[in-house]
Amino acid sequence: MIYFNNVSKNYRDALALDDVTFSITAGEFVSIVGRSGAGKTTLTKMILADDVPTEGTVFFESIDVHKLKNKGLTKLRRRIGVVFQDFKLLSNKTAYENIAFAMEAVGKSDEEIATDVPHVLELVDLGHRLYHFPSQMSGGEQQRLAIARAIINQPELIIADEPTGNLDPINTHEIVQILKKINDLGTTVILATHNKSVIDSVGSRIITMENGKIIRDTKHSK
């Protein structure tokens, strides 16, 4: 599904990725781990073509993502859902409206929105928060809402970049369980994190990064 072929990224004062090669198959749950500055975020940005390699190629299926023009890039990004550490919710919209907005952006009908939004909120245990604003929710609830928004248009891939970075251990556990549930339903998940307890609770493939390099790529053994 995803293939990095000898990808390097040089910034003016740092080497963010150093000759990175790996692949991820459809349906995998992959944790990308490493300290801040290890290259995790740069790597995930490459998949979305939010950043451009200095050398090497990034493929999504057979598509070289950095050769896509505007229309093709928009089409690619609609196949990917993204969850951020800082939620990026619309503060002036309710939970329902935050998700409806994402559906409207891809041309979904009012009928589809009315059917699908309550369903996806139930999936992330927020059925009771349908008409609450983000400011009326806890951090864990806001992140669950962000996940609901990321999956509402049924992407093939979810990228979660430090999704538990601002959460306590209980909410962290809940977020990880929801991501595992999404993966069980067939969606590929890439989780970038520096949190060892998150890695231990996932129990799947782990790619470890250090100074822009992949230093380990293993199945997790409990």
The tokens 């950043």 sit on which residue? 51
* 93 three-class SS: coil
CA distance 56 to 76: 19
Instruction: Tell me how far apart the alpha carbons of residues 111 and 213 are, in angstroms, rounded to a whole number.
Output: 47
Residue 161, φ and ψ in degrees, nearest 5: -100, 105
Query: Collapsing DSSP states into helix, strand and coil, what is residue 32?
Result: strand
pLDDT at 220: 58
Largest Cα–Cα separation, the chain? 51
0.85 cut: is pTM over it? yes
How far is residue 86's CA from residue 41's CA, in Å, rounded to a whole number?
14
DSSP state, residue 79: T
pLDDT tens, residue order, the chain (222 aa): 999 999 999 998 889 999 999 999 999 999 999 998 899 999 999 999 999 999 999 999 999 999 999 999 999 999 999 998 889 999 999 999 999 999 999 999 999 999 999 999 999 999 999 999 999 999 999 999 999 999 999 999 999 999 998 899 889 999 999 999 999 999 999 999 988 778 888 888 999 999 999 999 997 554
Q: If DSSP codes are grouped into helix, strand and coil, which group holds residue 123?
A: helix
pLDDT at 46: 97
Long-range contacts of 11-19 (CB under 8 A, 24+ apart): 15/211, 15/212, 16/42, 16/212, 17/42, 17/43, 17/46, 17/53, 17/212, 18/211, 18/212, 18/213, 19/55, 19/56, 19/213
1-216 carries CATH number 3.40.50.300: yes
Phi-psi sector, 187: left (phi>0), alpha (psi -120 to 50), beta: beta
As a whole number of Å, the end-to-end CA separation of the chain is: 26
